[in-house]
Structure formats: C-alpha cells, structure tokens
Chains A and B, each alone.
Chain A
C-alpha cells in the first residue's frame, strides 16, 4: 500500500527530519516576515483566497467582512508586537555596548525581544492562519505476519550461514566478560577503597585543643553557656576533626559513670560533625544546653553526652575526653568515642 510505504518512509527519515524541521522553522519565520511586507505593498496581492470547500469538524463559518476585519486587526497586532521586539533587541545591544550591563536592563530588553517575536508568531498562528483541523488515519504499528516472517528469515537465515555457532557464542560471552572486567578496572581509578580514614577517631591522647587561629584554650577561656570550635593542633580547619568545646555548669552534667572525669570544670567536647548527615552542629542553645544541627534540626543534649533528643539523628555525637594540664590548658584525654560523622554499615 502506498500509504504504508509513505509512512515507513516518514519513519525512516524521522531523525533527519528533525534537523530539516529546524531549518524549515527558521525559514518559515523569514517567510512570514516576507508575507507581512507583502501585505504592506498595496499593489501586490499576497495570496488568492481559496473558495471554501466544506466544513471541517469543530469550526464555525465566518463572513467575508469578519474575516477581513480579523486579518486587519491581526496584522496591526503583530506589527506592534514585532516593533516592540525590535526595540527591545536594539535596546539590548545599546545597553550592552554602552557599559550599563546590569542584569535588569539586559534581561528586560532580552525578554521584550523574545517575547515580542513569540507573541507575533502566536498571533499569526491564531489570527492569520487557517485553523483547519486535519484528520489522518493512523497506520498499524504492528507489522503484518508476512513482514515479520521476512524479518525473522533475514535474521535466522544469516545465523544459519554462520558455522560453529556454539563456539562463537562462548567466545562472545568470554570476551564480554573480560571487557567488563577491564572497564570496571578502569573505573577503579575514580575512587579509592574506603580506607582507615573512614574509621579514624581523629584525636590522640595529649593533643592540645586549639581554635581556628591556633590559640590554645584553658580553663579560664569560657564561661558557662559559651562555646568555641576547636581542632587538634595538627588538623586546624579539618572537616572531620572539628570539635565543639562547651562550658556548662558542672553540677548540671549527667555524663555516664565511665565518663565522669572527662569534663574538667564543666568543659565538655563533642565532635561537631552531625551523626545524621554530616553538617557541622553549629547551633548551641545556652539555656537548655542543647546542640542543634541546622540542616535537619537534630538536637543533642550536651549534659547527657550529646544524646539525640529530637529530630532525625539516631546516634549521639562522639565525645572527646578532656583533661587540664598544670597550666590549666585543655588537652584531649584520648580519641573520640566513635568515628565522627554520619553512620555507615560497619562503623561499629
């Protein structure tokens, strides 16, 4: 059937067609422009009206005068819209080259240009083009049995022409497997295996606590209700090593038995990396001694070894044991109670 042939042709050329369509769209705009200019020249008739050949569904009949009036107003409208667009475009060029490149001016003029041409085209489509509805038959998507047989025969016949097919199959599988292994190996260079850094508890006993600018902290540094961010001496500014040092009233602390000596004079230190999703737990609520994470609003009770008290975090912040040396400077008494940061499968 010629119809089906045509459809198959159209299908085969669908991808080329897209590029062709884009070209034609560009040419169409220019052609439309030409038509407007045509209209403006009084002597030339741009097109011959074709006698109405019947009604399409979903459409009402219009009188000649109505048609003409719509065309006149439509032409006026598109002229105005297009003129506005051109003004906007010229404005853009002027703004740009004169140096006033503020986003408002450039963005506004660009929007006027694009919007004006867009409105022009749409009004053209609605007022100055036929609104004819087309009804087309759909072709059958499923191929006929004979077509399927032909395709199947083309494939199977070709397969039958190949000798030693089973050997080829096993060779193919083996080759694919080896290729896969090679590709995976190449991807290996993208990342490293999770190494000791993931499980590290950062601090070592005896390390001094220092602030962002390297100053040490001592027992007289903070008053109850204050906090400061500290690091080990050798890891200032490190993401995973950041620690929050808080001073609370000593009698309010309710640490577990084995951690009773970890808080000299009411100073407690916890990892600043939230155990939920890894944001720094920056917010400190001084009245109830709560640490709050701003990302998902997890709360940790400073007085109870940073146990999670609300929000989506499940595990407490790892605590750092502290002690004060003879001069009152604060040192770490060991490592964090757990690797800092969000949890993972074998975090233990």
Chain B
C-alpha cells in the first residue's frame, strides 16, 4: 500500500528524477536494511542514505520547486516529533515504518534532534520578534501570517497558521523556494528565536473585537459594510413597504 501511494506521488516528478529516486528506494527495499549496530553512527549513516537526498547533507533543506524537496531540519529539537514524522510520513514525505526498524528510527531521530538541530528556539523576546517580523516577514506573509500575494507568476507566500516552530525556524535560515534565506548576519540566533516566537503567537492572536473576518483587512471590512448597507436598504424597504413614492 505504501508502495502504491509512493508511486502515485512519484508520478508528479520529472521522469529522470523519478527513475533515479525509484531506483534508490527500490534498492533499499530490496536490500532490506535492518542491520543492527552502534546507534550513533547508525543514525548518521541512515540519515545519509535515506534522508539527505531530500533534506540535504546537514539537514539544511533542499531548495527545489518540485514536491520532492524536504524542509530544513535544523530546528527539530524534539526527538518525538521527528520519530512520528519518520514513521508516518507527513505531507509529501514517505513513511519509513516498514523500511526501518523501531530502533533505527529512534537512532536517526536522535541524530537529527541532537546533531543536526543547530538553530536554538529559546531565548527569544516576542516584542522584538514582532518588530523584526514587520520589517522582514509581514511584507510577504501579511501581519496575521495568513499568506500573501507575490507579484510574479506561480506562487503566493503561504499561510503559516499551521506550521510548527521548528519548520518556521528552519525555513527562515534555509529560504525554501522563492523565499530568501536569512543567514545569521541578517538575523542572529536570538533574533530568529524571537521572530519564531512572534509567529507562533500571531498564529492565534487574541481577537477582542469579535470575528476577525479572515484577517483580510479593509477588503473584508468593505464587503461587510456593503452587506450592512444592503440590510439597511432592506430595513428601509420594510419601513416604507407599500409606499408609492
């Protein structure tokens, strides 16, 4: 079942890539790698063999426009989350629960979360994060991180409402696709942690004023007020019903 699902996904990729990738994966399945050994080097080896082609050698992410690309893992500090991802294969990632044994999964996950995760997510200040966010990020993702339009064909900046802190942090450093990368000279680790903390906050901002109308700003307010006027015209129609003018 996993194989069939995988082939369907692979069908979206250009032929050459598909053939080479298929070859690689089939060879893994065929070889049936379930060798036990030293967990630490095991983790590194498994990563290099199975993960680095999508996630990059140091887990920095592959910046490609095709769906096979994998995000940066350099902020994935939680070994549990990594294990779940490896087992179940979220989004475009294949599931490795049948390819790797439980101890192998544990090994590679701990490798990722201890060795590769170099971006710290602590020590941020939400206020400063907001300030930097409005200089660098709001311009594409909008102030409520619900995604924004980009003026070139093909892509809009995605909404970040359901993205984990690790994913966001990784993306900022890596610059997936058309997004620019922000190296430490632009945002040092503490500033990065601040920005991530602010993004997590604004995923679910307090809405003391009522329904946020999808955070579309003056556009939705214009629609709502037009609807209000139409209602008032209806009210006027009721008041003067039967009136001939």
Within the complex, are A and B direct neighbours (CB within 8 Å)?
Answer: yes
Which residues does A use to contact B, with CB under 8 Å? Answer: 58, 102-104, 107, 122, 125-126, 131, 211-213, 215, 217-218, 220-223, 225-229, 280, 282-288, 290, 292-294, 297-299, 310-311
Q: B130-158 interface mask toward A, CB cutoff 8 Å, 1 = contact, 0 = none?
A: 00100110111000000011111000000
Q: Are A226 and B182 in contact (CB under 8 A)?
A: yes
Interchain CB contact under 8 A, A285 and B181: no
Interface string of B163-207 (1 = CB under 8 A from A): 000000000000101111111011000010000000000000000
Contact B186 A228 (CB under 8 A): yes
Please tell me if B238 contacts chain A, counting CB pairs below 8 Å. Answer: yes
Q: Once the chains bind, are A294 and B148 in contact (CB under 8 Å)?
A: yes
Are A211 and B140 neighbours in the complex by a CB distance under 8 Å? no
Q: Which of B149, B175, B179, B239 contacts A126 (CB 8 A)?
A: B239
- Supposing A283-B140, A290-B152, A311-B151 touch, asked if A211 and B185 sit within 8 A by C-beta, the answer is yes
| Residues in chain B near residue A217, CB distance under 8 A | 185
Bound CA span A263–B148, Å: 31
Q: Which residues of A contact B244 (CB under 8 A)?
A: 58
Q: Does B8 contact A (CB under 8 A)?
A: no
Q: How many A-B residue pairs have CB under 8 A?
A: 89
Q: How near does chain B come to A122, taking the closest CB pair, in angstroms?
A: 5
26 A–B contact pairs at CB < 8 A?
A: A122-B238, A126-B239, A211-B185, A211-B186, A217-B185, A221-B185, A223-B183, A225-B175, A225-B180, A226-B186, A227-B180, A228-B186, A229-B135, A280-B139, A282-B136, A283-B140, A283-B151, A284-B180, A285-B150, A285-B180, A286-B175, A286-B177, A292-B150, A293-B151, A294-B148, A310-B151
Q: For the complex, is B5 an interface residue (Cβ under 8 Å from A)?
A: no
Neighbouring A residues of B186 by C-beta, 8 Å: 211, 221-222, 226-228
Which residues of B are at the interface with A, using a C-beta cutoff of 8 A? 63, 65, 132, 135-136, 138-140, 148-152, 175, 177-183, 185-186, 191, 208-210, 238-239, 241-242, 244
Smallest Cβ distance from B183 to chain A, in angstroms? 5
Known: A285-B152, A285-B178, A310-B151. A222 touches B183 (CB 8 A): yes
A283 and B210: CB pair below 8 A?
Answer: no
B181 touches A286 (CB 8 A): yes
A59 CB, nearest partner CB in chain B, Å? 10
Q: How far is the CA of A287 from the CA of B178 in the complex (A)?
A: 5
Interface centre among A227, A283, A292, A310 (most CB of B within 10 A): A283
Q: How far is the CA of A298 from the CA of B152 in the complex (A)?
A: 10
In the docked arrangement, what's the CA distance between A290 and B242, Å? 61
Counting chain B CB atoms within 10 Å of each CB, the highest count among A215, A287, A293 belongs to A287
Known contacts A103-B210, A282-B136; is A297 also within 8 Å of B175 by CB?
no
Nearest CB on A from B17, distance (A): 18
**Interface pair B152/A286, CB less than 8 Å apart:** no
Q: Are B150's CB and A126's CB within 8 A?
A: no
